[in-house]
Chain A
Amino acid sequence: MKETTDFYASSSEGVAEGAVYTAMGGGDWADIAAEQAERGDETLVINMGPQHPSTHGVLRLMVEVDGETVTSIRPGIGFLHTGIEKNMEYRSWTQGTTFVTRMDYVAPLFNEAAYCLAVERLLDIEDKIPQRASDIRVLMMELCRIASHLVAIGTGGMEIGALTVMTIGFREREMILDFFEAVTGLRMNHAYIRPGGVANDLPETGIAQLRDLINWLEKHLPEYAAFCNENPIFKGRMCGIGYQDLSACFALGVTGPILRSTGYGWDLRKQQPYCGYETYDFNVITWDTSDAYGRFRVRLDEMWESLKIVKQCADRLEASTGEPVMIDDPKIAWPAQLAVGPDGQGNSHEHIKHIMGESMEALIHHFKLVTEGFRVPAGQAYVPIESPKGELACHVVSDGGTHPFRVHMRDPGFNHLQSVPIQCEGGMLADIVVAIGSLDPVMGGVDR
């Protein structure tokens, strides 16, 4: 415990020793400061975070600056390590969805999709997922992509002072979250995509609400371009900042908008399609400047491409109304059908009538699936998907039981933060914030 003097503490009665104990005890701060003192140069060592308004969550940055120039920067992570992967080893396969969705909490449906696709590969049911379920998955994922890019652009803009970009970004996001709430019941952390399909179908007013949402987005997405694209302050802050070229991206495991801002059009939805993405018509957006401004433009245009896909989904879902959204296998399909009743959300009346009155097998399956869960054959699988941040993948190992043996999520933010030194060293202190904003890490996914 290191004693420091708090200058704001009252020196009169009431305070025992006139000092404030800091629980941190300096951590490794004493070592860092000592190391710098040894060198005896004019370098200043600054600690940014983990509590900081602009580090996109609990990220610690140990920065050495010479004047305004960053000479060395080291990210420190782990402040949000939740033990999600180990926790999943004690829960059933379906419950894994609820854990994994809280990793990258800005785009939760992608975590669920990666995990469920990996489990479905182990179950060998990849081609038995109903088409409507895949279409709903694509719809929800693309809407989630728009929502995530809005947060990225909004918070990135806020961090450089463009506060309006944040307020309008969250306004659009609210409309998307309204739709999510109508379909899944929750605004965030939905646990909607389950192994075998999705938890429940769209509500009756779903397509109508979706069309309204599409109209709203079409009307309001041009505002971002109008605000930012040619804004001299925006360009001044972002052009040339956080430069990372193609070979650096490959060496450091960087994918997503950052890779595409170098000009290389690598998008897993096109290269290694899943959930039927090969049947949708959309473009891969690239830019050629490899800097923060390029990444912003890539994200902006990707929102438009996602909207294109959403429109195609709306047409398909309207045509396939009434089809099942869960696999036809009673040993795997999640049995519960949820509805909002007088006391909140719970099993629908029809479902309870069916399992209690009509079918003993349905009751048994419901009971066994909800308590024990299904068994997944032994083996391992690795399924990557294109999340808004980059390649999000799930490496899942099963030993034949009802619980995962090992789940490892490959989160894009974890890899992208390794690029912070290459992007920031040599630049200015103020550019760190811009560079990290353009990397768009989500600390829940980084630390898991």
Chain B
Amino acid sequence: MSDNDALIPEAGTGPAAQPAPVRQGMWGKGSGDTSGYNGLRRSVEWPAAAVAPYGSWFDDALGRLSQLVADPFSTVVVDHGELTVYVARERIVEVMQALRDDAYLRFEFCASVSGVHYPDEIGSELHVVYHLQSMTHNRRIRIETSCPDADPHVPSIIATYPTVDWHERETWDMFGIIFDGHPHLTRILMPDDWVGHPQRKDYPLGGIPIEFKGTVVPPVDSRRSY
């Protein structure tokens, strides 16, 4: 993304009270561009927080979770038939344990852990998204937690789901999120002595200009984008 993309954070609604960023157009701002894109304002609308009842099996499952863990989640989003539950990082270990062990929930399989970096969400820039699957009940749930850039710590759930070993290492490697309690949080995809966390939005894509006969095309992250 190029620096021309100015995003004006506003207090907005939406999950985890994140600001609704606004995109401004690419060209213009005194550059002489007359295409009209300069005046383009497009706001990003994240899926709104759902209100109970959520539908399908979601209410029963979340009700059961609330019985087992005090105040387990802050927001719930139901979008495209998928349930996303926002859990504070202090609660994540308890919640995961309850999700796995309780017979009504029985999410015995953690499919994946991914990090997402939202640079505009001041105070909770780094999100960790856990996808759990219950084979007993044939259901899937997404648990999302976040931590600020200034304090990128999230408790590790490796004691509940051993499979997240390498997933958490990858999320540390790519985003810089430190999983407290992970026995060996080291780099896994990048060389051991690499500096920086590549998949963060403030890390450049890196790359070299592409040379053609008579012209040079800049690498992808320096080209203009829409």
Contacts and interface: CB of A to CB of B under 8 A. Distances in A.
Interface in A398-414: 399-403, 405-406, 408, 410, 414
B54 interface: no
A237 interface: no
Contact of A266 (B135, B190, B199, B206): B135
B145 to A, nearest CB: 14
B129 to A, nearest CB: 7
Given A253-B111, A406-B116, A414-B166, A86 B42 contact: no
B45 A395 contact: no
A404 to B, nearest CB: 11
A410 B131 contact: yes
Contact of B131 (A83, A382, A399, A401): A382
Interface string B8-28: 000000000000010100000
B176 to A, nearest CB: 14
Contacts of A382: 82, 111-112, 131, 140, 142
A373 B116 CA distance: 23
Given A86-B198, A250-B109, A272-B138, A395 B131 contact: yes
A12 interface: no
Interface in A226-267: 250-253, 266
Q: For the side of the interface on B, what is the size category?
A: 35 or more
Interface in A148-181: none
Contacts of A372: 226
A401 B170 CA distance: 26
A249 to B, nearest CB: 9
Interface residues of A, number: 49
Contacts of B46: 378-379
B225 A381 contact: no
Nearest to A272: B138
Given A85-B199, A86-B205, A250-B109, A402 B226 contact: yes
Nearest to B5: A401
Nearest to A118: B80
Given A399-B44, A402-B226, A408-B114, A271 B138 contact: yes
Given A78-B188, A401-B226, A381 B205 contact: no
Interface string B39-50: 000101111000
Nearest to B21: A399
A271 B117 CA distance: 32
A269 interface: no
A415 B170 CA distance: 12
A124 B81 CA distance: 11
A28 interface: yes
B138 A83 contact: no
Contacts of A87: 205, 220
A425 to B, nearest CB: 15
Contacts of A397: 116
Contacts of A271: 135, 138
B162 interface: yes
Nearest to B201: A89
Nearest to B46: A378
A354 interface: no
A90 B221 contact: yes
A213 interface: no
Contact of A90 (B44, B111, B165, B220): B220
B94 interface: no
A414 B112 CA distance: 10
Contacts of B80: 121-122, 124, 379, 381
A403 B225 contact: yes
Nearest to B203: A86
A410 B84 CA distance: 18
Interface in A405-448: 405-406, 408, 410, 414-415, 417-418, 447-448
A86 B199 contact: yes
A380 B129 contact: yes
Contacts of B206: 83
A90 B110 CA distance: 29
A395 B82 contact: no
Contacts of B198: 83, 86
A96 interface: no
Contacts of B112: 382, 393, 395, 408, 410
A391 interface: yes
A90 B161 CA distance: 33
Contacts of A378: 44-47
B191 interface: yes
B79 A251 contact: no
A400 B116 contact: no
A403 B26 CA distance: 15
A345 to B, nearest CB: 22
A377 B44 CA distance: 9
Nearest to B84: A380
B192 interface: yes
Interface in A350-406: 372-373, 377-382, 384, 391, 393, 395, 397, 399-403, 405-406
B125 interface: no
A79 to B, nearest CB: 9
Interface string B144-173: 000000000000000001111111001000
B187 interface: yes
B166 A418 contact: yes
Given A382-B111, A414-B167, 11 more contacts: A124-B80, A251-B163, A253-B109, A253-B110, A379-B80, A381-B79, A395-B112, A397-B116, A401-B23, A405-B116, A406-B114
6 contacts: A77-B188, A78-B189, A380-B142, A405-B116, A406-B199, A417-B166
Interface of A: 27-28, 77-78, 81, 83, 85-87, 90-91, 121-122, 124, 250-253, 266, 271-272, 372-373, 377-382, 384, 391, 393, 395, 397, 399-403, 405-406, 408, 410, 414-415, 417-418, 447-448
10 nearest A-B residue pairs (beta carbon): A253-B163, A408-B114, A410-B112, A81-B189, A78-B189, A90-B220, A400-B44, A379-B47, A406-B116, A251-B162
